[in-house]
Copies of this chain bind each other. A is one copy, B any other.
């Protein structure tokens, strides 16, 4: 199956493709060329080319016009990169004082250069964290992750009290805005009102009333607070 043997180190772009494919695949469907292209901000044609290479390397399987799926090797490689990325994010924020909204870009570059040793030393210095600053779970050394199915804040019902578990979005300004509102992992939020026609959602956060749009609320993953509140279909994203 594996045509060419796997090189010991994967290139930066290859790691990026695998991360994106992993993320796209998590909603159940295979990852499609155009979606990958969108995520990486490159042309679909370039993705087609890279997809052939990844398939040659045995990292993905590809059904033309039907999308791609990670193989075992591909999944392992994707999770390794994800672990690097998220531990770097933790370290940069907790030890080096990076802002919540600034870590992503830095980690994105470092994740391809950092050795296993560096990552593990950072993880040890942090006491082996299990979530990154945005609430994303950190895969273990041996490639295990638990990505719980969480509802988004947009799906929470009126008068419901929920706890923020994870915030998506790599966009720094939006992250900064959410932080200002007090919406970060661990925060307790009550839905005061949901305007009809996908109107703004009014929340009670940290003793103040705040309104946010549905699009933004859909980037915030929550869990029922007081008691257990059923599971939705929502799923996190990669950062």
Contact = CB atoms under 8 A, between A and B. Distances in A.
Contacts of A115: 106, 109
A121 B96 contact: yes
Q: Which of A98, A112, A113, A125 has the most CB of B within 10 A?
A: A113
A110 interface: yes
Nearest to A111: B113
A156 interface: no
A113 to B, nearest CB: 4
Contacts of A113: 109-110, 112-113
Given A95-B95, A98-B117, A109-B113, 15 more contacts: A92-B118, A96-B118, A96-B121, A96-B125, A97-B121, A102-B117, A106-B115, A106-B117, A109-B114, A110-B110, A110-B113, A110-B114, A110-B118, A112-B113, A113-B113
Nearest to A108: B113
Nearest to A117: B106
A95 B94 CA distance: 14
A167 interface: no
Contact of A118 (B106, B118, B122, B125): B106
Interface string A77-121: 000000000000000100111100010001001101111011001
Contacts of A106: 115, 117-118
Contacts of A109: 113-115
